[in-house]
Amino acid sequence: MPQIKIRGIQANDVCKISEKMVDELVEVVKCPRDYFEIECIQSVAIRNGQIEEVYPFIEVAWFDRGQDTQDKVAKIITDSIRDGLKVESLDLAFTTFEKEKYYENGEHF
């Protein structure tokens, strides 16, 4: 169920690293491969009245899996993008879902 939302990196580029990255994430997170969803979000950055390149930002939305797992996931995603796509710098943040506030088909977890 981890949702990986990516801004500032082209979808075709993410496709190049996605399979290997998810392979590594499956091992660390201990959930099935089909639970992972990668979404590339098209956005426009505006600074000082000008359209500029979007700074790479990755958000991982998931249920808490502890600090150790979170640190490992952050490293896998960061290394996959930096090494695989030659992206020099990026930010990554986690959003944690609360089970009683997350609904699937009208039912909370």
pLDDT tens figures, 61-94: 999 999 999 999 999 999 999 999 999 999 999 9
Please tell us whether the domain made up of 3-108 is placed in CATH 3.30.429.10.
yes
pLDDT in tens, 46-58: 999 999 999 999 9
Residue 62, token pair as written in the block: 């998931």
Task: Report pLDDT for 109.
Answer: 79
Task: Report pLDDT for 1.
Answer: 79
Query: In which residue are the tokens 């009208």 written?
Result: 106
Segments making up each domain of the chain, as ranges: 3-108
CA distance 100 to 82: 35
Q: What is the pTM of this model?
A: 0.93
Q: Which amino acid is at 81?
A: I
Mean pLDDT, the chain, as a whole number?
96
Find the DSSP H helices in the chain: 11-29, 67-85
